[in-house]
Amino acid sequence: MKILIVEDDESSILLLSRYLKDQGETVIAEDGEKAVALFRQARDVHQPFDLVCLDIMLPLLDGQEVLKRIRALEYEVGIAGLACCKVMLTALRDARNVIQAFRGQCEVYLSKPISKERLYREIRSLGLPVKQAE
């Protein structure tokens, strides 16, 4: 599995990297613009991400805008639905952000702090394989 972690908080990056290190190749983007660029680049070389873990509060482009742009990149090449699973991981729990994320077609919205077990359960619910860490 190829995973894009979009997060600007160092401790969250370390935690997610630790949770996901056994699940496949992980790439980190610390701002929204870099996330969109990395997603486009992976798509263009036919090595797309299977999972995007996306924070909402990011520099340059917020996570909601990143989600919208990533979906637009998928539609440009005729990819729709769960071609790449988008999981919002954020401290924001308000209804406006949750609704906006699902309207932007995220599949899962998780509020921080996030446990490894819950993250794995949600990834499995999307039909993606999850290896148990040793």
Domain residues for 71?
2-125
130 occurs within a structural domain: no
Tens of pLDDT along 45-75?
989 899 999 998 899 999 889 999 998 888 8
Q: pLDDT band at 81, cuts 50/70/90?
A: low
| Cα angle for residues 121, 62, 11 (degrees, 5° grid) | 55
12 occurs within a structural domain: yes
The answer to whether residues 12 and 112 touch, using CB atoms and an 8 Å cutoff, is yes
Q: Is the pLDDT of residue 3 over 90?
A: yes
133 occurs within a structural domain: no
Tens of pLDDT along 83-122?
566 777 777 777 777 777 777 678 888 888 889 999 999 8
Secondary structure (3-state) at 84:
coil
Q: Where are any strands of DSSP class E within 11-133? A: 25-29, 51-54, 85-90, 108-111
Secondary structure (3-state) at 90:
strand
134 occurs within a structural domain: no
The domain total for the chain is: 1
CATH number at residue 121: 3.40.50.2300
